[in-house]
Amino acid sequence: MQLADDAAEKWEGDGGRLWLWAVSPTVLVTRVEGYISLEGVRFYTNRADRMIARSGSLYVFHHWGGVLSWDPQARDRLRTWAGAHGKRLPGTHFLVRSRVLAMTIEVAGLALGRKLSAHRSEATFFAALAEVTAQRARV
């Protein structure tokens, strides 16, 4: 599945760039390059909240292979937001470079009782995106 940059909602600031694609009413893709700031997380959560309000649930695919660092407040805000929306987020996928981070994501999902999937290759990430998008189209 190709995601055109010109079709994305964009945010840029604090050394980072964020793109959002609503590929269906219940599937959102993000891509981050550089630094994830608190304002960048707010940009994402505001869009996700609007989609959840309309559809009731949201599958999220975070293409974060280009993340260099995080603002600790951004990480806390995202964790708190996701915790408050737990059942409305039936599946969240992350594309990350680090094997340790991928394992941490998978373990966190088990501990939280949530479906968190980590991918280390774009091929598996985009295959999962295509599968979920096709499944949601049939619902």
pLDDT for 74-97, tens place per residue? 989 998 999 899 899 999 999 999
pLDDT score at 113: 82
Averaged pLDDT, 23-36 = 96
Give the pTM: 0.94
| pLDDT for residue 29 is more than 90 | yes
Q: What is the pLDDT of residue 139?
A: 67
Give the CA distances from residue 123 to residues 38, 51, 70, 76, 120, in Å, rounded to whole numbers and listed in that order.
29, 26, 25, 29, 9
State how far the Cα of 12 lies from the Cα of 40, in Å rounded to an integer.
8
| The pairing of beta strand 16-24 with beta strand 9-13 | antiparallel
12, pLDDT greater than 70: yes
Are the C-beta atoms of residues 125 and 93 closer than 8 Å to each other? yes
What domains are there in the chain, each with its CATH number? 7-138 (3.30.750.24)
* Whole-number pLDDT of residue 110: 87
